[in-house]
Structure 1
Amino acid sequence: MNTFLGTAVETVRTNNPLVHHITNYVTVNDCANLTLAIGGSPIMADEVLEVMEITGMSQALVLNMGTLNERTVNSMLLAGQTANEKGIPIIFDPVGAGASDFRNETARSIINMLNCAVIRGNISEIRFLAGITSSTKGVDASANDTSSIEEAQLIADQLATAHKCIVVITGAVDVISDGRRNILVHNGCAEMSRITGTGCMLTSLIASFCGSFPDQLFYAATTAVLAMGIAGELAFEQTTGTGSFRVALIDEISRIDQQTLTQRGNYVEK
């Protein structure tokens, strides 16, 4: 992992991966700016008439269910099929999975019809996708779904194995699994849950790394999680409120480098 961290950020900034987002309108601007901050190039095209063409020229595809509507579901599936045909990694963010029948049906369609490279969600969303009883609090994790680290690892392993992908469960301790290996990331701060969109932004960050390292998805996803958690810590150290914290978070991603990742990264590889 340390060897990968040594060149990861520089490689993303050199490659400038094009990341196609079909995402939600609450956080779309922050996702675009965070992609730019790490060195990627964002494009947000959800019209069914162009999604296949745009996806085909991209290095990664983000599918985010945050503000789901019937029109974009078809766009997501068509874009995902194109990504699969061309070997482009799909990063799926099942926002609010478990909250409604429409959302649940869409989440199931995406994971069953498409080969997702990475699925990133909170514990409630991942529990639902894994077929485990879950409750929801809108798009946030429910306190009723609080799991031990060991249980979260087992759930991540189960979903990763079933769908042959990387699973990222974000929380106080982030869990990354490919079904065989686990990495626990202890970076981050509670204030990251007090602004909207940090999960969506992390999904964009994961896509930027995966678009640059399509053959090393496990470590690419982990590096993105580390970078986001460290940026949150650094942003909190210099701000006094949630508005300035949001801006500082993007600033810190734009400044993050090899030295910061290796010195501040707090993770356990299993």
Structure 2
Amino acid sequence: MTNLVVQNFAANVALAIGASPIMSNNGLEAGDLAALGGGLVVNMGTTTSEIRSNHLKALAAYNAIGGPVILDPVGAGATQQRREGVKALMAGGYFDLIKGNEGEIRTVAGAQGVKQHGVDSGASQLDLKDRITLVKTTAARESNIVLMSGVVDVISDGERTFTISNGHKYLGEITGSGCTLGTTIASIMAVEREDKLLAAVAGILMYEIAAERAGEREDVKGPGTFVPAFIDELYHIREECVRGDGKWMEAAKIESA
């Protein structure tokens, strides 16, 4: 259930990594879809009160059978409507993972006065140590996984915490890079259900290493040529995994925090 701006991109990313996407914002379909054994992304990018109602219906359907659900509170600190939307969604059910930039995760955590001009994070208010503390304490409070994306990503389940420094600058120059990261993580969490933090870390690394590989290609001249190359590289990593070739993981820049 992603925003209208990136539905096509998200569907193509899902296909590239071997998932089977359906882009439905109709909460009445959620019971049937949840029974298929997949994961749900609830993305607030183009939210309205009607869409929120559908999000809550879908959340309840996936919670009922234990299907993995990701919350992407896009632009959570930008408006009062979005701040209220975050509260309503979090009160309406359980999210296995909440992902966002610094401004969004600070809003989720309950910080006051977060300023966002659209979907950007806004000026960073925290150093890395404080970001790690915020992510870890929020994950412990919510009994789930919290991912704060940035130049250095921070992810925690409240006990295990990691920083990841992969990625490419072009991810910040295109629409939907954060949204489709959610698509990737949800797809892997649908398969790896025993250790959801492991699934999330695998998704981040696959996504960001593919971005690095795409950004280094000679045919990539900027953000416009980056997107198709990025989808290609996600597909190539998928194919390498099918062959049992895990060498792509040698590029991982991950540290325990």
TM-score by length of 1: 0.89
Q: Of 209, 215, 221, which aligns to 2:200?
A: 221
The worse-fitting range, judged by mean Cα deviation, of 254-263 and 124-133 is: 254-263
Which of the pair is proportionally richer in strand? 1
Tell me if structure 1 keeps the 8 A contact 2:28–2:58: no
State the 1:158 CA deviation: 1.6
- In the alignment, which residue of structure 2 is the partner of 1:247? 228
TM-score by length of 2: 0.93
- In the alignment, which residue of structure 1 is the partner of 2:115? 135
Output the CA distance in 2 between the equivalents of 1:56 and 1:152: 37
- In the alignment, which residue of structure 1 is the partner of 2:6? 27
State the 1:37 CA deviation: 0.7
Q: Of 36, 40, 50, which aligns to 2:15?
A: 36
Output the CA distance in 1 between the equivalents of 2:29 and 2:53: 12
Output the CA distance in 1 between the equivalents of 2:161 and 2:183: 21
Output the CA distance in 2 between the equivalents of 1:153 and 1:119: 15
CA deviation string 1:101-134 (max 9, x = no partner) = 2211111111122110010100100001101232
Tell me if structure 2 keeps the 8 A contact 1:45–1:54: no
Q: Where does structure 1 lack aligned partners over 5 or more consecutive residues?
A: 1-21
Output the CA distance in 1 between the equivalents of 2:158 and 2:202: 18
- In the alignment, which residue of structure 2 is the partner of 1:63? 42
> Residue 190 of structure 2 aligns to a residue in which SS?
helix
- In the alignment, which residue of structure 2 is the partner of 1:190? 169
Task: After the TM superposition, list the runs of 4 or more consecutive aligned residues in structure 1 that deviate by more than 3 angstroms.
Answer: none
Percent of matched pairs sharing the same residue: 35
Give the total of aligned pairs.
248
Tell me if structure 1 keeps the 8 A contact 2:170–2:222: no
Output the CA distance in 2 between the equivalents of 1:50 and 1:39: 23
Q: Map 1:1-270 to 2 at 5 A.
A: 22-133=1-112, 134-143=114-123, 145-238=124-217, 239-256=220-237, 257=240, 258-270=245-257
Tell me if structure 2 keeps the 8 A contact 1:226–1:261: no
The worse-fitting range, judged by mean Cα deviation, of 122-131 and 56-65 is: 56-65
